[in-house]
Amino acid sequence: MTMDAETQARFAAMLHHRSKGLAPGDPLVAGIVTSATYHAPDVEGLTRVYGRSGMPTWEALEAQLGLLEDAECVAFPSGMGAISAALFAGLAAGKRVIIPADGYYVTRLLSAQVLAAYGVDVVEVATRDIATADLSGAAVVYIETPSNPELEVCDIALVCARAHAVGAIVMVDNTTMTPLLQRPLDLGADVVVAADTKAPAGHSDVLFGHVASRDPAFIQKLRDWRRLSGGVPGSFEAWLVHRGIETLEVRLERMCASAMVVAGRLAEHRGVANVRYPGLSQDPSHAIARRQMSGFGFLIGFELPDAARAERFLTECPLIAQATSFGSTHTSGERRVRWGDAVPQGFIRLSVGLEPVEVLWAAIAGALEA
Ligand SMILES: Cc1ncc(COP(=O)(O)O)c(C=O)c1O
């Protein structure tokens, strides 16, 4: 992981972001404010009137995320809450959205089942084809890179240039990377969406999401969507994410380094096929990943010969939690075919956690032999 100097400085500033506004005797840590309403003898000029419009705990988190993204951020109660807000704010009946055919399956379901029913023209394009696909007629080009679960990568700057040339805006799901490993807004994207449920909160104990953009009009649309739809985050959840993000950089450092070791050894293991990790020099994603990512992440894809072998591996390995989701302290893994992803029966997505790498590898190697 080689975060540039500017991102490092941003992370350091983020750790101290509350200091400026503190009066002597104020608590150093953001509070969990649960008030649903505010003292409002007169509403004129008041920014906080009712809890659906704003909460001090979300505001602390949005300020923190804003420093990392170098953009204004709007918080949502889950990654899907953030994604649906961005898509509803950016689209309308009769508009076309291009979404990844191989991205997070719930985004595809949202598009096919909800956006299409509201008159949006939904077109699916595989991540590996988006840089050369015909984008004409699209209002929104939505990409996910690396994609979940196959870790395909596309060239964000190239997609943005091509999308902008036909008048489309670009939204990037940056969940698998976080703003510390990949900076889509700096590469030309208009909007970033992310599930902070994963590495940013980092402990599998909260669902959360955010949208980041440098376009004030788009940010206003998102805030309006949140207030009108009522899909607002809880203060306790915002507080957990605020706390989790403070250790994001050290956790990512360990997770990315371990993932590199595990991916390399899996690639050399005779019982394992088709290892996907953008950090491996032989991976089809490696060339673009090196250009646009400052770390290769903590997700690995690989295949065991069939469903039974893959299930046995997952059951036998004491250091792999058999669970969906990723980016947590513990290593976790699952067969993605169980969610309907178009992958082989024996395909496993592994999320590498914080276990010391040699202990983790010994457990993985042992389960592969089982
Ligand atoms: C790439 C990606 N985006 C978005 C989401 C949705 O996040 P959440 O589960 O917080 O709604 C997920 C969840 O797994 C994901 O993997």
DSSP notation for 217-245? HHHHHHHHHHHHH-----HHHHHHHHHHH
Token digits of residue 49: 């009137």
pLDDT of residue 47: 83
Which residues partner with 211 through β-bridges? 74, 193
In degrees rounded to 5, what are phi and psi of residue 173?
-80, 110
| Residues 6 or more apart whose Cβ sits within 8 Å of residue 195 | 78, 79, 80, 82, 175, 207, 208, 209
**Whether pLDDT at 370 is above 90:** no
Alpha carbon of 39 to ligand 1 centroid (Å): 36
**Residue pLDDT, tens place only, 113-164:** 999 999 999 999 999 999 999 999 999 999 999 999 999 999 999 999 999 9
* Tokens, residue 261: 């070791």
Task: Say how many Å lie between the CA of residue 261 and the centre of ligand 1.
Answer: 26
Determine the longest span between alpha carbons in the chain, in angstroms: 72
CB atoms within 10 A of CB 64: 23
Q: Which numbered atom of ligand 1 lies nearest the CA of 80?
A: 11
d(CA 194, CA 293): 16
Kindly report, residue by residue over 38-90, the tens digit of the pLDDT: 999 999 988 899 999 999 999 999 999 999 999 999 999 999 999 999 999 99
Pair 275, 265: CB distance under 8 Å: no
Q: What is the pLDDT of residues 177-209, one digit of tens each?
A: 999 999 999 999 999 999 999 999 999 999 999
Integer angstrom CA distances of residue 229 from 232, 261, 318: 8, 45, 43
Mean pLDDT of the chain: 97
DSSP codes, 120-137: -EEEEE-GGGTTTS--TT
Residue 131's nearest CA partner among 155, 104, 102, 99 is 155
Mean per-residue pLDDT for 248-272? 98
pLDDT at residue 6 is higher than 90 = yes
208 Cα nearest atom in ligand 1: 10
Check: CB of residue 269 under 8 Å from CB of residue 368: yes
Give the neighbor-by-neighbor strand order of the sheet with 72-76: 72-76, 209-213, 191-195, 169-173, 140-144, 96-100, 121-125
The residues, ordered by sequence, that sit 6+ positions from 237 with a Cβ below 8 Å of its Cβ are 77, 206, 207, 208
Ligand 1 atom with the smallest distance to the CA of 82 is 11
For the range 27-32, what are the long-range contacts, defined as Cβ-Cβ under 8 Å and sequence gap of 24 or more? 30/56, 30/57, 30/60, 30/61, 30/239, 30/242, 31/56, 31/57, 31/239, 32/57, 32/235, 32/236, 32/239
List C-alpha distances in Å: 45 to 41, 57, 96. 12, 21, 39
**Residue 33 confidence class, pLDDT cut points 50, 70, 90:** very high
Which residue is it, tokens 């309907």? 340
DSSP 167: T
- List all residues whose CB is within 6 A of at least one atom of ligand 1: 78-80, 83, 104, 144, 148, 173, 175-176, 195, 197, 207, 209, 325
In this predicted model, which residue has the larger pLDDT, 1 or 237? Answer: 237
Q: Give the Å distance between the CA of 20 and the centre of ligand 1.
A: 33
